Amino acid sequence: MKAISYIGINLVAIGVGLLAAMAAGNAVRGREPAFAAERPLRVRIELSNHPDTTGALIAGYNYRLLQEFAAEHGLQADIRKAAPDTAALDSLRRGAWDLLVLPWPQEAADSLVFTPMPDSCAVWAVTARPKSRHRLVHRFLNALPERWDYARTREPFFRIYDPLRVAARGRKLDALGPYDDLIRKYSEGRAWDWRLLAALIFQESRFHIEARSWRGAEGLLQMMPRTARNFGLDNTLDPEESIRAAADYLGHLEYIFRGDADSQEDLQMIVLAAYNAGEGNIKEAIGRAKQYDVPYGTWDYISNHLDYIAQDTYNGDETRVFVERVYAWYEAFCKIVPE
């Protein structure tokens, strides 16, 4: 592609390069390296103003490519969401970040270079100096369509479908979403079918890594900040860490409620309810059932006592619907990707 002049901003179409070789060449010529090798590549994603993030997993797609860009050049990457109140372009200009992913910019910034992705779903922005920086970004993105695995990498992030409709039509897919490998990895050795964990993720975020609820829950698994900290999750934008932390949390909940369930399926439903409502609320529902000497080992019995402990921040019907929907997605996923 050609560079495009836009109010003093170079909009450059992008491709692939080798940072190590370029950095070495710069050192020989006494030039500043493209990126500092002694620290992680500092990247922020700011797509809150994107006109449409529902038609594709745009943040997740960019996250994957940013990981590949960093790995290709021998760098670690610290990829996070830009805080909503951050002046993103100013932070990039000041050097607080190395690279920024955002929709098409609405303001002129002659000290920055913006490179559109081949899909035109976002732009990658870097400072104009050193020049080697935007050249690397240009080469990486410009070469994407020529890669042998381009379609395979891109497709899971742009295939948005209704699992219930696909399952009803008897269609089979090769993958449920872009994170199947990670979900399988962190389901291994547990009593959970990986597709049940995938169903939980789908219910929570529809596979959007940037998802955030009005209550402050974030990421693929919509973990609250305190729970995330308790299970070692520092960056909710990181899909692997989010899935790992959620799997650990589910294991913790299974341990807590194992003695209260009559079957593995009941245990999983109780755990899902606790994931949604908080373990304290489900413990209270079980305690209430015990108090009145009624059966409490099945999800049906426990769910009947949820309304008695409803609070301003908690709704028994919401939790019942949550569990039902997760299992509906799970049944559909089992038909779409049978084992």
pLDDT (tens digit, 9 = 90+) per residue, 153-211? 999 999 999 999 999 999 999 999 999 999 999 999 888 999 999 999 999 999 999 99
- Taken in order of first residue, the domains within the chain and their CATH numbers are 4-146 (3.40.190.10), 161-336 (1.10.530.10)
* Mean pLDDT estimate for the chain: 85
Task: Give tens-digit pLDDT for 125-163.
Answer: 999 988 899 999 999 999 999 999 999 999 999 999 999
Specify burial of residue 80 (Cβ count, 10 A radius: 0-12, 13-18, 19+): middle
Q: What is the pLDDT of residue 14?
A: 33
pLDDT band at 269 (very low <50, low <70, confident <90, very high): very high
Local structure of 5: helix, strand or coil: strand
Residues whose CB falls within 8 Å of the CB of residue 48, separated by 6 or more in sequence, listed in order: 84
Closest CA to 13 of 5, 22, 3, 26: 3
Please provide the distance, in angstroms rounded to a whole number, between the alpha carbons at the two ends of the chain: 44
Among the ranges given (74-78, 248-252, 291-295), the one the predictor scored with the smallest mean pLDDT: 291-295
Report the run of H or E that residue 9 belongs to, with start and end: strand 9-11
For residues 302 and 320, the answer to whether their CB atoms sit within 8 Å is no
Q: Is 204 a catalytic residue?
A: yes
Q: What is the pLDDT of residue 310?
A: 53
How many helices and strands in the chain, by DSSP H and E? 14, 7
Q: What is the pLDDT of residue 21?
A: 40
Among the ranges given (9-23, 222-236, 298-312), the one the predictor scored with the smallest mean pLDDT: 9-23
Structure tokens of 25? 């060449």
pLDDT band at 17 (very low <50, low <70, confident <90, very high): very low
Model's pTM, two decimal places?
Answer: 0.86
pLDDT band at 220 (very low <50, low <70, confident <90, very high): very high
**Cα 334 vs. chain centroid, distance in angstroms?**
22
Q: Which of 46, 68, 204, 324 is catalytic?
A: 204
Q: What is the pLDDT of residue 31?
A: 60
For residues 45 and 210, the answer to whether their CB atoms sit within 8 Å is yes
Q: Within a 10 A sphere around the Cβ of 230, how many other Cβ atoms?
A: 14
Closest CA to 161 of 51, 61, 56: 56
- CA gap 195, 337 in Å, rounded: 9
- Amino acid identity, position 174: D
Name the percent of the chain in helix, strand, coil, to the closest 5.
50, 10, 40
Task: Give tens-digit pLDDT for 110-123.
Answer: 789 999 998 878 99
